[in-house]
Amino acid sequence: MTSERTATLTRQTSESSIELVLDLDGTGMSQISTSVPFFDHLLTAFAKHSLIDLTVTATGDTHIDVHHTVEDTGIVLGKAIAQALGDKSGISRFGDALVPLDDALAQAVVDVSGRPYFVHSGEPAGFEFHLIGGHFTGSMVRHVFEAITFNAGLTVHLTVLAGRDPHHIAEAEFKAYARALRQAIARDDRVSGIPSTKGAL
């Protein structure tokens, strides 16, 4: 049976071109090509652990910086999640995950609240300046999560509890975010309608 919780979005600017397709009720399959290799790695992990089927094709002015391509992909991913969720009827709404990756440990808590809010802490001093893979600045990890979170209408608390290696820290954060989101967007048979006392999310 084909899921109705799907979205296909494009975004075209003078700085980047993004094409994205997702299925919230997938199996974590992905085809990712953003022209930013480490970001491809992170989005592949995101799809695998959220169980969201995700196809992304992105190009941009990476000869200047990866910033525009990564941020714009995050914007489109967030908007696609929001679109695929629809009115959010029948979802669990909340999710949390604690994910280790060798030396790194990250925790994410997600509320599909409709009220964008992002709290991020714990990355070690200097992480934001580190070039992961020689091209992906550590500061982009927070930046892409802000783009996803605000455009999807989520409330997210993301905390790095331990970590030494920048690659491990970034990947643990993406996996924790994905696992928490997976719980939050999951359908719950015991939920009738929209899971809010206000009747809307």
Residue range 103-145, pLDDT digits in tens: 999 999 999 999 999 999 999 999 999 999 889 999 999 999 9
Strand order in the sheet with 104-111: 94-101, 104-111, 155-162, 117-121
Strand-strand pairing, 136-137 and 104-111: unpaired
Per-residue confidence (pLDDT) for residue 3, from 0 to 100: 56
Residue 85, pLDDT score: 97
User: Residue ranges per domain, the chain?
Assistant: 6-185
Nearest partner of 105 among 50, 58, 66, 162, judged by Cα = 162
Q: pTM of the entire structure?
A: 0.96
The enclosing H or E element of 109 equals strand 104-111
pLDDT score of 2 = 44
What are the start-end ranges of the H helices in the chain?
37-50, 67-85, 139-152, 166-185
Helix (H) or strand (E) holding 22: strand 16-23
Identify residue 105 by its one-letter amino acid code. Answer: L
* DSSP conformational letter for 129: G
Whether 21 shows a pLDDT value over 60: the answer reads: yes
Q: What is the mean pLDDT of the chain?
A: 96
**151-169: average pLDDT:** 98
Does residue 1 carry a pLDDT above 50? no
Fold of 6-185: Ribosomal Protein S5; domain 2 (3.30.230)
- Please, what's the largest Cα pairwise distance for the chain? 50
Task: Give the residue-averaged pLDDT of 15-30.
Answer: 97
> Residue 175: is its pLDDT beyond 70?
yes
User: Average pLDDT in the 13-28 region?
Assistant: 97
